[in-house]
Structure 1
Amino acid sequence: MSNPVLQVRGLSKSFGTNLVLADISLDVDRGETVCVLGPSGSGKSTLLRCINWLEPPDGGTVHLSGTRIGYRPGGNVAMGDRDLAAVRTRMGMVFQHFALWPHLTVIQNVMEAPLHVQKRPRGEVRAEAEALLAQVGLADKMDQFPARLSGGQKQRVGIARALATKPELILFDEPTSALDPELVGEVLLVMKDLAAKGMTMVIVTHEMGFARDVANRVVFIDRGHVVETDRPDVFFSQPKTDRARQFLQRFAGAAA
Structure 2
Amino acid sequence: MPPVTALEPAKSASDQSTKNVLSIVGVSKSFGANQVLHDVSLKVAQGETVCLLGPSGCGKSTLLRCINWLDVPDAGSVHVSGQRMGVHDNTRIKMSDADLAKMRARIGMVFQHFALWPHLSVIDNVMEAPLHVLKRDRATVREEAVQLLERVGLADKYDQFPSRLSGGQKQRVGIARALAMKPDVLLFDEPTSALDPMLVGEVLNVMKALANEGATMVIVTHEMEFARQVADQIVFMDEGQVVETSTPHKFFTSPESARAQKFLARFHAHGDG
Task: Give the unaligned 5+ runs of structure 2.
Answer: 2-15
How many pairs align?
Answer: 256
After TM superposition, the score normalised by the length of structure 2 is 0.92
> 2:8 corresponds to which residue?
none
Is 1:94 matched up with 2:87?
no
Instruction: Give the secondary structure class of the aligned counterpart of 2:98.
Output: helix
- For 1:84 and 1:146, locate their aligned partners in 2 and report how far apart those are by CA, in whole Å: 28
**Per-residue CA shift, 1:47-89, capped at 9, x if unaligned?**
0000110000100000001110001344322112222222111
> 1:165 corresponds to which residue?
181
> 1:49 corresponds to which residue?
65
- For 1:39 and 1:31, locate their aligned partners in 2 and report how far apart those are by CA, in whole Å: 26
Partner residue of 1:135 out of 151, 167, 186: 151
Is 1:4 matched up with 2:26?
no
Is 1:155 matched up with 2:192?
no
Instruction: Give the secondary structure class of the aligned counterpart of 1:203.
Output: strand
- For 1:198 and 1:54, locate their aligned partners in 2 and report how far apart those are by CA, in whole Å: 26
Give the CA deviation at 1:196.
Answer: 0.2
- For 2:223 and 2:109, locate their aligned partners in 1 and report how far apart those are by CA, in whole Å: 18
Is 1:229 matched up with 2:227?
no
- The structure 1 segments of at least 4 consecutive aligned residues displaced by more than 4 Å after TM superposition are none
Partner residue of 1:198 out of 211, 214, 217: 214
> 1:75 corresponds to which residue?
91
Instruction: Give the secondary structure class of the aligned counterpart of 1:61.
Output: strand
- For 2:215 and 2:79, locate their aligned partners in 1 and report how far apart those are by CA, in whole Å: 18
Instruction: Give the secondary structure class of the aligned counterpart of 1:5.
Output: strand
> 1:146 corresponds to which residue?
162
Partner residue of 2:37 out of 21, 26, 31: 21
After TM superposition, the score normalised by the length of structure 1 is 0.98
- For 1:206 and 1:24, locate their aligned partners in 2 and report how far apart those are by CA, in whole Å: 20
Structure 2 counterpart of 1:153, one-letter code? Q
Structure 2 counterpart of 1:208, one-letter code? M
**Per-residue CA shift, 1:204-236, capped at 9, x if unaligned?**
000000000000000000000000000000000
Task: Give the unaligned 5+ runs of structure 1.
Answer: none
Give the CA deviation at 1:120.
Answer: 0.7
- Percentage of pairs with the same residue: 67
**Per-residue CA shift, 1:191-212, capped at 9, x if unaligned?**
0000000000000000000000
- For 2:239 and 2:263, locate their aligned partners in 1 and report how far apart those are by CA, in whole Å: 13
Is 1:104 matched up with 2:120?
yes
